[in-house]
Chain A
Amino acid sequence: MDAIASEQLHVVRGGKVVLPGLTCTVARGSVTGLLGPSGSGKSTFIRSVVGVQRIAGGRVDVLGSPAGARQLRARVGYLTQAPSVYDDLTVRENLRFFARVLAAGAEAVERAIGQVALTDVADRVVSRLSGGQRARVSLATALLGEPELLVLDEPTVGLDPVLRADLWGLFHELADAGATLLVSSHVMDEADRCDSLLLLREGRLLAAATPAALRERTGAAQLDEAFLRLIRGEGEGAE
C-alpha cells in the first residue's frame, strides 16, 4: 500500500484553481521529492496531505486513511514552509511543548535537537536565532514522536551546503528505518538526492519517476535540463 495516494485532487484557493486534478502516489519507505517552481502547487498539495487544506474535489489517502483523519495526527510529521515555532520560547521549550502534545518523552526532545544540530543553542530564545536555525527548530518539532510519514515543505531553504548534505543524510536514515518522506524543493540540484520524484508545474503532474529514469527518458545529463525538456515536450504535445 502506498503511503500517500491522491486521486483527482481538486483544490481552489482564493478563486484560483491551484490543483486541477492531481493523481499521484508516494511509496512507503521512500524519500520522494516534490519539485517544481514556486506557485506550482507544492505547498497546496502538502497542506492537502496533512489535512489542513479545504479541498473542492477528489481525495487524498494517507497511510490508509483519508488525509486529516484523527488517527493520523500522531503518525504524520509536518514542517510548514514558514517556520511555525514560538519566537519567545527557547529551542528546548518549543520542543518540550510539541513533545508533550505528542506524548513523546524528554529523550525524544534531545534526540531531535541533535538531529538538526542545534545542541549549542538549545537554551537560546528562538527570536535570537538566524533564519536557518529557526527553520531547523521547526524541522525538529516535525521529527518528534517518530512519525511514519514526514511531510516537509522546503526543509533545506537557506541552509549552508554542509548542513544541507547532513539533513539529506538524516532523511535517508529515517527512510531506511521505515519512515516515508515527502520533501518539497524548488531547487533541482536536490532532486538527485531523492529516491523518486514528482514534478509539478501549474498544478499538473509533469512526471513521476526516479532521477535515473527521468534522465533516460529525456536524454538529459542534468535534472534541471530534463525538467526543461519535459516542459517543452509538453508544449509540443499540446500543439
Chain B
Amino acid sequence: MSVRVTGAVAVRVLAQLRRDPRTLALIVGVPCLLETLLEQIFHGRSLVFQQVGAPLLGLFPFVTMFLVTSITMLRERTSGTLERLMTLPLGKLDLLAGYGIAFGAFAVLQAAVVSALTFGLLGLDVAGPRPVVVALAVANAVLGTALGLFVSAFATTEFQAVQFMPAVVFPQILLCGLFVPRGSMAGWLRALSDAFPLTYAYEALAHTASNTLDGRFAADVVIVCGCIALALALGAATLRRRTP
C-alpha cells in the first residue's frame, strides 16, 4: 500500500462528491428530516424516541454510504476507469482504502450535523458520552462503504445496485434488535442476526445510550472493525487486473 496513492484516491473521490451538491444536501438533510419526524411521531412518548433516536443516528450513515459507494464503484467498473487504474502503479487496497477514507471523512460531517440537531433541537439524551455515538456513526459509515464496494461487483447496472440496498441492508435493520429484542426471536432468526455485522453496530450504540461501556461493548466494537476489514478484503478480491 502507498500513502501517496491512497491519498490521491481519497482526494479524487471527495472532489467528485463536492461536484454534486444535491447529493451532499440529501445525505445530510434526509437523516435530519427523519430524526425530526421520529421525534414528532413519538411526541409526548419521548421515552420511545430516547430509545431509538441514538441507534438510528448511528445507523443512517451505514445506509447512505452503502448506497453512494456501491453506485460510485459501479460507475468506476462500467466507465472503463477501473481498467485504466488497474494498468497504473495502484494497489487494490490503495483504491479501497482511498474510498473508505473519503466516505469516512464525509460521514464525520454527516454525523456531526445530524447529531447536533438531534442532541440539540430535538432534545435526545444519551447516558453515555455523545462523541462515542458520533464515532460509532463514522465506523458504521465505513462499514457501509466497505460492503458497498463489495456488492458493486455483483451489479451490472445502477438499477441492480440500488436494489442491493433493501436486499442487504433491510434484513440487517429488521434483525439487529431495534424492532424486536434479539432474545425473543425464533432460533433461526437469532442465528441470522448473530451473523449480521449491523447487529453488533446496533448493540454498541445501545450500550452507549445506556452508558454500559463494558466488555460486551468492547467486543461489539472489535467485531464491527473486523467486519470492515473482512468486507474490504472481499472487495479487493472482486477487483481483477485481468478480465475476460
**A and B together in one complex:** yes
Chain B residues in 8 Å Cβ range of A141:
84
CA distance in complex: A225, B88 (Å): 39
Task: With a 10 A CB-CB cut-off, give which of A14, A53, A84 has the most chain B CB atoms.
Answer: A84
Q: Beta-carbon contacts of B1-29 to A below 8 Å, as 1s and 0s?
A: 00011011101100110011000000000
User: Are the CB atoms of A73 and B84 closer together than 8 Å?
Assistant: no
Main secondary structure of the interface of A (DSSP, over half): loop
Q: How large is the interface on B (under 10, 10 to 19, 20 to 34, 35 or more residues)?
A: 20 to 34
- Determine how close the nearest CB of chain B comes to the CB of A26; give it in whole angstroms: 17
User: Are the CB atoms of A100 and B15 closer together than 8 Å?
Assistant: no
Task: With a 10 A CB-CB cut-off, give which of B5, B79, B85 has the most chain A CB atoms.
Answer: B79
Chain B residues in 8 Å Cβ range of A74:
88-89
B120 close to chain A: CB less than 8 A: no
Which of the candidate stretches B48-56, B111-119, B236-244 sits at the interface with the other chain? B236-244
Contact A52/B241 with A88-B19, A101-B88 known, Cβ cut-off 8 Å: yes
Chain A contacts with B in 51-104, Cβ cutoff 8 A:
51-54, 68, 70, 73-74, 76, 78, 80, 82-89, 93, 97-98, 100-103
CA distance in complex: A51, B19 (Å): 33
Q: How large is the interface on A (under 10, 10 to 19, 20 to 34, 35 or more residues)?
A: 20 to 34
User: Are the CB atoms of B242 and A51 closer together than 8 Å?
Assistant: yes
Which residue from chain B places its CB closest to the CB of A76 in the assembled complex? B87
Chain A residues in 8 Å Cβ range of B223:
none
Contact A52/B87 with A82-B80, A97-B11, A100-B4 known, Cβ cut-off 8 Å: yes
Which residue from chain A places its CB closest to the CB of B82 in the assembled complex? A84
7 interchain pairs, CB-CB under 8 A: A68-B242, A70-B89, A80-B80, A86-B81, A100-B11, A101-B8, A101-B9
Task: With a 10 A CB-CB cut-off, give which of A13, A14, A78 has the most chain B CB atoms.
Answer: A78
- Determine how close the nearest CB of chain A comes to the CB of B96; give it in whole angstroms: 15
B158 close to chain A: CB less than 8 A: no
